[in-house]
A = this chain, B = another copy of it.
Amino acid sequence: MDCGIFGIYGHPEASKITYLGLYGLQHRGQESSGIVTSDGKRLYSHRQMGLVADIFNEDVLKKLPGHIAVGHNRYSTTGTSELKNAQPFVVEYSKGGLAVSHNGNLVNAHILREELETSGSIFQSSMDSEIIVHLIATSRAPTVLERIIVSLQRVRGAYSILFLTENSLIAARDPSGFRPLVMGTLRGSYVFASETCALDLIEAHYEREVEPGEIIVAAEGKLNSVKPFKEERRGHCIFEYVYFARPDSVVYGRNVNEVRKQLGRVLAREQPAPVDIIIPVPDSGVPAAIGYAGEAGLPFEMGLIRNHYVGRTFIEPEEGIRHFGVKIKLNPVRETLEGKRVVLIDDSIVRGTTSRKIVKMVRDAGAKEVHMRISSPPTTHSCFYGIDTPTREELIASSHTIEETRQFIGADTLGHLSLKGLLSVVGEAAPHFCAACFTGEYPVEIPLELRSPQLGLFDSSQNNGSSSP
């Protein structure tokens, strides 16, 4: 699901700090990673397919000198896993070097790209981030900042974005504030990151979020903030709380672990079950399961063990293995499950196929009853702002009632957290959130071409790194 971005201005070891920051954001993207630095004179770049810890070593980091850096982790989406789509995207244009780290999806990318190509722009990738770069390059505005402003005024959709030039770092967040972006300080340098867990690792001090519609320029040793966009409806992605962010992060001002435990508690009140034990689908279901168990006064148990050494693909024997795709990640603990009535806690159901396999596996391991509890409402709509949900047609909840879904996944009962329950946890901030994946109410309008993928205009490769849980 979407990507992780990180930037730092004014640190003598900018690339080393960025590498650690990206490592802390690894959960936001595992397909490729990259860092671009500047020493004030020119840019240095390294991008590679794979994990942060495999890509960067002393040798690579030595070739990334300078005091300014931006980094990017890209999520693996099927089909477009190519180095040329790795970020940060870096170019030379008339004003010098420019690197971009982008998290989020634009909704008018296809229109702008066609326009730019007609005027002679040559695209190197299928990323919509490149559209922003071409808008900047073809702008006639005199300064880089002005060019960025006029370019961002033309795009619609979600972006938490970092620009690096020879002598500045510029952070921007779309007016709805779809994707998270925080700012910190580290011994006089300025740091930007998708989540606070990246700040923790490098011992940076968390200052505040970059505000929706805000552009912060770090240059000449100091910060400047501008807000050049007209107001838009707020739309913080609520799915960051439900699934995507790391539990130790503070997102939109609240700790994710605590939010998730609270979701579990409300879920326990809304959807109780007469069971013996509460089992999470690890790792994402753990905090909600702890909350559920606490509220219900029932034992929390690790009845499914996760294998963390997961590679990109696994080879199945020809005879086949039941639930292969799930079994490669999860194994039930028979002795813990046997003869028990179980509540199984997960964060969401997408296509239903994974849940179906897990329920079956838990039952095969001896559970007497399996009650599925989901710490979010049914996912009925696709996301166009950066979370890689499948098309609406593939979302089981878009065409099935809860009872039909229950039958499909084979659970004894199925209960979702209500939208009201979900929003009650975030409290007064509720109106500022985007819950379009549960409601279909999109804060920024989605063009018809994107909504109807059969028209072929929505190439998943334009997604800036996203995936479904």
Task: List residues of chain A with CB under 8 Å of any chain B CB.
Answer: 13, 16-17, 19-20, 23-24, 26-27, 30, 51-54, 56-58, 61, 91-94, 117-124, 133-134, 137-139, 187, 197, 200-203, 246-248, 250, 255, 257-258, 283, 286-287, 290, 294, 299-302, 305, 307-319, 321-322, 327-328, 331-336
Contacts and interface: CB of A to CB of B under 8 A. Distances in A.
Contact of A290 (B19, B57, B300): B300
B201 A333 contact: no
Contacts of A19: 315
A394 to B, nearest CB: 27
A331 B118 contact: no
B23 A335 contact: no
Contacts of A255: 333-336
Given A91-B124, A94-B118, 18 more contacts: A20-B314, A20-B317, A51-B309, A53-B312, A61-B315, A93-B117, A121-B137, A122-B124, A122-B134, A122-B137, A197-B305, A201-B321, A201-B327, A202-B317, A250-B335, A257-B333, A257-B335, A308-B308
Given A133-B122, A248-B331, A309-B52, A58 B94 contact: no
B30 A309 contact: yes
Closest 9 CB pairs of A and B: A53-B311, A120-B138, A255-B335, A94-B117, A248-B305, A26-B309, A308-B308, A120-B137, A248-B331
Nearest to A258: B335
A381 to B, nearest CB: 30
6 contacts: A58-B315, A61-B315, A120-B134, A197-B331, A258-B333, A286-B302
Contacts of A13: 317-319
Nearest to A53: B311
A50 B415 CA distance: 42
A328 B53 CA distance: 11
Nearest to A304: B248
A336 B257 contact: yes
Nearest to A51: B309
B121 A309 contact: no
A258 B19 CA distance: 40
A17 B336 CA distance: 27
A107 B202 CA distance: 44
A273 to B, nearest CB: 19
Contacts of A294: 299
Given A26-B309, A201-B327, A315-B56, A122 B321 contact: no
A426 to B, nearest CB: 15
B124 A124 contact: yes
A138 B124 contact: no
Contacts of A92: 122-123
A246 B305 contact: yes
Contact of A302 (B20, B134, B287): B287
Contacts of A134: 120, 122
Among A56, A120, A290, A314, the one with the most B-chain Cβ atoms within 10 Å of its Cβ is A120
A17 B317 contact: yes
A307 B23 contact: yes
A310 B52 CA distance: 9
A333 B247 contact: yes
A173 B255 CA distance: 50
A69 to B, nearest CB: 12
Contacts of A332: 248
A365 to B, nearest CB: 9
